[in-house]
């Protein structure tokens, strides 16, 4: 990994941690606010470690937004990796970890090759400035040129309209994690899809 790539990963982790601190799903996974930043750093490092050299880490030109992508063909988590993920959650959530991981596992991931947007965020002070769009649009073009769909799990109801503007559609039932806003909506965008009217 080159120095610039290492710097991009460090910047991406810093941005994603900041951007997900108030995310409803991650606030449910890691309920203790005082340790959430540390937990999120471990969370995103876990995924980067699992993806290895396959991971695509993107940082916006202003270093105010970042995204992690897994390309088509990235293997599903192995048994040992699932055990590591359980251990990570357990270290922060204790006895609640098993139920939380089981709930997360009910999300229905589509079959077949697809790009997976694992996480995308702008810093909390830089939202609604087009940062997310700037990170997403190159991959929409790549998806169209390759003929491969893009899959993501929206973890904030406020983001649904944003994704739908780019042609993403619900591709599975919404997984309700609690009675508030913690819910996961699987979404898929077919290559060349136009925006929905909603």
The 3-class secondary structure across 13-70, one letter per residue, is HHHHHHHHCCCHHHHHHCCCHHHHHHHHHHHHHHHHHHHHHHCEEEECCCCCEEEEEE
pLDDT at 127: 65
Residue 10 predicted with pLDDT over 50: yes
Mean pLDDT computed over 122-130:
75
Q: Please state which architecture CATH assigns to domain 3-189.
A: 3-Layer(aba) Sandwich (3.40)
**Predicted confidence (pLDDT) at residue 191 exceeds the cutoff of 50:** yes
User: Which residues fall within 8 angstroms of residue 182, CB to CB, at 6 or more apart?
Assistant: 24, 25, 27, 28, 176
Average pLDDT over residues 110-137: 89
pLDDT mean over 86-110: 97
Output the pLDDT for position 196: 62
Distance CA 127, CA 42 (A): 23
Residue carrying structure tokens 């929905």: 196
Give the confidence band of 79 by pLDDT, cuts at 50, 70, 90: very high
**178 vs 18 pLDDT, higher one:** 18
pLDDT at 179: 67
The alpha carbon of residue 91 and the mean position of all alpha carbons in its chain are separated, in whole angstroms, by 21
Q: pLDDT at residue 3 above 50? A: no
Angle at 46 between CA 161 and CA 88, to 5 degrees: 100
The mean pLDDT value for 77-82 works out to 96
Q: Does residue 125 carry a pLDDT above 80? A: no
CA distance readout (Å), 58 to 68, 157, 166, 192: 6, 23, 19, 22
Where do the structural domains in the chain lie, given as residue ranges? 3-189
* Start-to-end CA span in the chain (Å): 42
């Amino acid at each position: 990994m080159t120095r610039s790539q290492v710097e991009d990963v460090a910047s991406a982790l810093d941005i994603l941690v900041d951007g997900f601190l108030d995310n409803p799903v991650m606030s449910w996974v890691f309920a203790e606010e005082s340790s959430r930043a540390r937990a999120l750093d471990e969370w995103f490092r876990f995924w980067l470690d699992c993806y290895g050299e396959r991971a695509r880490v993107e940082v916006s030109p202003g270093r105010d937004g970042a995204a992690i992508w897994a390309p088509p063909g990235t293997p599903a988590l192995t048994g040992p990796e699932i055990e590591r993920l359980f251990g990570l959650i357990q270290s922060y959530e204790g006895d609640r970890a098993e139920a939380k991981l089981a709930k997360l596992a009910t999300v229905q991931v589509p079959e077949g090759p697809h790009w997976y947007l694992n996480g995308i965020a702008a810093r909390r002070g830089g939202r609604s400035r087009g940062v997310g769009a700037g990170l997403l649009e190159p991959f929409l073009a790549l998806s169209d040129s390759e003929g491969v769909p893009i899959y993501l799990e929206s973890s904030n109801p406020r983001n649904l309209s944003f994704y739908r503007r780019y042609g993403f559609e619900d591709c599975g039932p919404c997984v309700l994690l609690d009675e508030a806003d913690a819910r996961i909506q699987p979404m898929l965008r077919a290559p060349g899809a136009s925006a929905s009217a909603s």
